[in-house]
């Protein structure tokens, strides 16, 4: 696997920029005029209670909305510096190809290279290499799609609760890989797993009932919530 080249100055200053971003389904508006900047080549983590609109926000960032249903809509301004994205969705994908087919003839080496930080993950996925991704055990299909995203060098990787269905070991593999990935690509991670969020976040967005109620660097968000409450 080729190394990802260092970011150019232009890339380093790029951001995902949303202004008055709204999204919803049919007559229902779920997100209400969100404005935020997400740093490029960093990991942004989206937190919030169930039903607050985290997945809807991630969907709004996806270029290719095929398969989202005709009633999904997005309004407002959204600037995405690149069009190439990889998505690890919340729901199991209808991917009939195997991980081996998706990774190509050097699948085993690619697995070892992608998971050099967690060799046990490479071994586990290698054993499942000949099964269609859609039929992999819960949790592992997410790691399989993450592997493909990394191997394909997508500059923007969007993940919706990738920790779901993983064992403790699986979450540790995921955390290690995301820690590396955030230095190489731009990552937007929706999660309910606070230790994972804390570990990988460079920037945090907090949603509640479709509104952006906080956005901050992790140090402020996790370590100084009291201070923020009194000063904001
Ligand atoms: N396809 C859809 N059609 C209509 N409403 C939807 C659809 N998907 C989500 N919603 C509604 O949008 C609201 C936000 O859902 P969303 O899945 O974005 O929240 P979430 O924060 O990701 O929740 P969770 O953590 O439970 O996954 C919810 O009230 C949900 O019922």
71-99 pLDDT, tens per residue?
Answer: 899 999 999 887 788 999 999 989 899 99
Q: 205 in helix, strand or coil?
A: strand
Q: What is the distance in A from the centroid of ligand 1 to the CA of 51?
A: 5
Say if ligand 1 is within 6 A of residue 208 CB.
no
The reported pLDDT for the residue numbered 142 is 97
HSE toward the beta carbon, residue 34, CA cutoff 13 A? 35
User: How much of the chain is helix, strand and coil, in % rounded to 5?
Assistant: 40, 30, 35
The share of the chain scoring above pLDDT 70, in percent, equals 88
Say if ligand 1 is within 6 A of residue 30 CB.
yes
Boundaries of domain holding 71: 9-231
Residue 11 above 60 pLDDT? no
Q: Is residue 72 part of a domain?
A: yes
Residue 31 above 60 pLDDT? yes
Residues in contact with 195: Cβ distance below 8 Å, sequence separation at least 6, in sequence order: none
Say if ligand 1 is within 6 A of residue 193 CB.
no
pLDDT confidence tier of residue 9, bands split at 50, 70 and 90: low
How far apart (Å, rounded) are the C-alpha atoms in residues 176 and 166? 14
**Inter-residue long-range contacts of 114-120, CB under 8 Å, 24+ positions, other chains counted:** 114/1, 114/147, 114/150, 114/151, 114/177, 115/147, 115/173, 115/177, 117/176, 117/177, 117/179, 117/180, 118/172, 118/173, 118/176, 118/177, 120/169, 120/173
Residue nearest to atom 31 of ligand 1 (CA): 51
Q: Is residue 3 part of a domain?
A: no
Q: Is residue 145 part of a domain?
A: yes
Residue nearest to atom 5 of ligand 1 (CA): 25
How far apart (Å, rounded) are the C-alpha atoms in residues 179 and 173? 10
The reported pLDDT for the residue numbered 215 is 93
Q: Is residue 4 part of a domain?
A: no
Q: What is the distance in A from the centroid of ligand 1 to the CA of 163?
A: 18
What CATH number has the domain bearing residue 179? 3.40.50.300
Q: Which residue has the higher pLDDT, 27 or 228?
A: 27
* SS3 per residue for 44-109: EEEECCCCCCHHHHHHHHCCCCCCCCCCEEEEEEEECCCCCEEEECCCCCCCCCEHHHHHCCCHHH
CA distances from 214 to 7, 42, 57, 72, 232 (A): 28, 18, 15, 25, 10
Tens of pLDDT, residue by residue over 48-75, are 999 999 999 999 998 766 555 678 999 9
Q: Is residue 156 part of a domain?
A: yes
Residue 8 above 90 pLDDT? no
Average pLDDT rounded to a whole number, residues 114-120: 97
Q: Is residue 161 part of a domain?
A: yes
Domain count, the chain: 1
Q: Is residue 160 part of a domain?
A: yes
How far apart (Å, rounded) are the C-alpha atoms in residues 139 and 146? 11
In this prediction the pTM is 0.90
How far apart (Å, rounded) are the C-alpha atoms in residues 22 and 211? 10
Lowest model confidence (mean pLDDT) among 79-93, 101-115, 184-198 = 79-93
Q: Is residue 209 part of a domain?
A: yes
> ipTM exceeding 0.90?
yes
Say if ligand 1 is within 6 A of residue 67 CB.
no
Say if ligand 1 is within 6 A of residue 104 CB.
no
pLDDT mean across residues, the chain: 89
Say if ligand 1 is within 6 A of residue 50 CB.
yes
């Amino acid at each position: 696997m080729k190394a990802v080249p260092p970011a150019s100055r232009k890339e380093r200053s790029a951001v995902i920029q949303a202004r008055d971003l709204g999204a919803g389904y049919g007559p229902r508006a779920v997100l209400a005029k969100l404005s935020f900047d997400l740093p490029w080549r960093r990991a942004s983590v989206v937190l919030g209670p169930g039903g607050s609109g985290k997945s809807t926000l991630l969907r709004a960032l996806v270029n290719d909305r095929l398969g989202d249903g005709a009633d999904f809509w997005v309004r407002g301004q959204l600037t995405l510096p690149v069009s190439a994205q990889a998505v690890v969705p919340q729901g199991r994908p209808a991917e009939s190809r195997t991980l081996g087919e998706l990774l190509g003839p050097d699948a085993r080496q690619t697995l070892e290279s992608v998971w050099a930080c967690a060799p046990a993950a490479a071994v586990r996925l290698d054993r499942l290499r000949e099964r269609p991704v859609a039929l992999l055990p819960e949790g592992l299909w997410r790691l399989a799609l993450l592997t493909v995203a990394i191997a394909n060098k997508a500059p923007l990787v969007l993940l919706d609760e990738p920790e779901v269905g993983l064992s403790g070991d699986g979450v540790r593999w995921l955390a290690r890989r995301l820690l590396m990935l955030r230095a190489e690509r731009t990552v937007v991670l929706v999660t309910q797993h606070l230790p994972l969020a804390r570990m990988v976040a460079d920037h945090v967005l907090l949603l509640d009932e479709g509104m952006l109620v906080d956005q901050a660097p992790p140090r402020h968000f996790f370590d100084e919530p009291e201070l923020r409450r009194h000063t904001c």
